[in-house]
Chain A
C-alpha cells in the first residue's frame, strides 16, 4: 500500500495525525494513519507467527482501537509508532486468548500525568533510537528482534538459536546498554 512513491510520514507528522483523530474525528487523518500503520502492523503480526487472514483481521482491529483510543495518545509520553506498537502487542495477546475462549485483560486506568522519566521519551528521541538500533551488531539485533516478534520465552529463543541461555541474556543486556546510552541515559 505504500508503493505510491510518497515518502513515509515522519514521527511528528504521525503524532499530529493521531491528534487530529482525537480532537476532530478526522477521517482523512485516519486514512493517512491506516495507510502508514496497517501494512506494518500486519507485517509485524505475520512475523509473530500469525497467518495472513488473522494478521489482516487483527491489523484492522488495531486501527479501530487507534480510532477509539486516540484521545489517550500523549505525544510527550511516547511517539506515535511506540503507541501503536503497544496497541498491536496487546491486540496480538488478546487474539491468542480469544482463540482459547478467554476474555481480554482489561486495561489499567491510564496514569494521571506523565512522569518526569517518561517525558524524556518524547517523539524527537525516536530518531536517536533508530540510529542506535541500526548500529547494533547483527547478533544483538537478531536477539532483540526475536524478543519482539515471537511470544516465546527466552529459553525457547536460546534453544532455537542453539545458544546457551547465558549467552542470550548477556547479548540482551549488551544491546540494552547500548540503546540506553544512545538515549543519554546512564547505563
Chain B
C-alpha cells in the first residue's frame, strides 16, 4: 500500500505544467503506480479545462483559420530516435514506462553497496535525475540537500530517522532535510530528481567521504 504521495501543491504544479522536468518525471513515475494520484491529477486537469473555458476569447489574425486548415494534412514530425539505454540488468517492468524516452547510463559505483545510473532527459538535459541502487541493509552516508529532492521507490524499501518508505512511495524533501537513508532486507532501487544542475552535490560529497 502506498503511504507517501506527492504534496497537493506538487500535484497541482504537475497538472499545470509548471514543475521542473526532472521532478515532473518522478511524479509521472509515481502516478503510473498510484490510482489515487492519477485520479487527483485528472481532477486537477479538469480544473485546468474549466480555467481554459473561462478565458476571455482573444481574436486570432483573420487568416489564422485558413492558414491552420492548409497545414492540417502535413505529416506529423517524426518521433525522435530511441535514446541510448544501458542494460541495468533489472527484471522486466521494474522501470517506469515514462523512462522509455530517457537516456540511461550503466551503473556507476558510489560507495560499497551503493550505485547510481545517470538518467538524462533529452528535453531537459540539465535536470539532474538518477536511478540509485542500495544493497540490502546498506546505509547511504548522511547528507543534506542542496535543493529539493524527489525520490520514487521502485523496488525494496528504506528507512531514515523519521519514516519507512516502500515501493510505490514518493518522498519529497527540501533543502533543509538532513538524512541518512538505510535500505531494508531486499535493498532498494529509487528514481530521484535533485535540484542544482549537473553537480550531483551530495553524491560528490559521498564519494569524497568514502574515498
Residues on A facing B (Cβ under 8 Å): 1-2, 8, 27, 30-31, 34-35, 37-44, 46-47, 55-56, 59-60, 63-64, 67-68, 77-86, 88-90, 92-93, 97, 102-106, 108-109, 115, 117-118, 120-121, 125-126, 129-130, 133, 144-145, 147-154, 168-169, 172-173, 176, 179-180, 183, 185
Given A40-B55, A56-B64, A172-B8, A105 contacting B50 (CB threshold 8 A) = no
Closest B residue to A118 by beta carbon equals B42
A-B pairs with lowest CB-CB distance, top 8: A82-B49, A39-B57, A81-B49, A117-B39, A89-B17, A43-B55, A43-B58, A85-B48
**Chain A hits for B48, CB < 8 A:** 82, 85-86, 89, 148
26 CB < 8 A contacts A-B = A8-B53, A31-B65, A39-B59, A40-B55, A43-B55, A43-B56, A43-B57, A43-B58, A44-B55, A60-B64, A63-B68, A64-B68, A81-B50, A84-B52, A97-B124, A105-B123, A105-B124, A106-B101, A117-B35, A117-B42, A130-B50, A144-B12, A153-B13, A168-B9, A176-B44, A180-B43
**Chain A hits for B207, CB < 8 A:** none
Interface 9-mer from B71-79, B109-117, B129-137, B185-193? B71-79
Q: How many A-B residue pairs lie within 8 Å, measured between CB atoms?
A: 188
In the assembled complex, the Cα of A56 lies from the Cα of B57 at a distance in Å of 12
**Complex interface bits, B100-130 against A, C-beta within 8 A gives 1, otherwise 0:** 1100000000000000000001111100000
- B49 to A79, Cβ gap below 8 A? yes
In the assembled complex, the Cα of A92 lies from the Cα of B17 at a distance in Å of 9
Contact residues of B between 1 and 49, Cβ < 8 Å to A: 7-9, 12-13, 16-21, 28, 35-36, 38-40, 42-49
The majority secondary structure among interface residues of chain A is helix
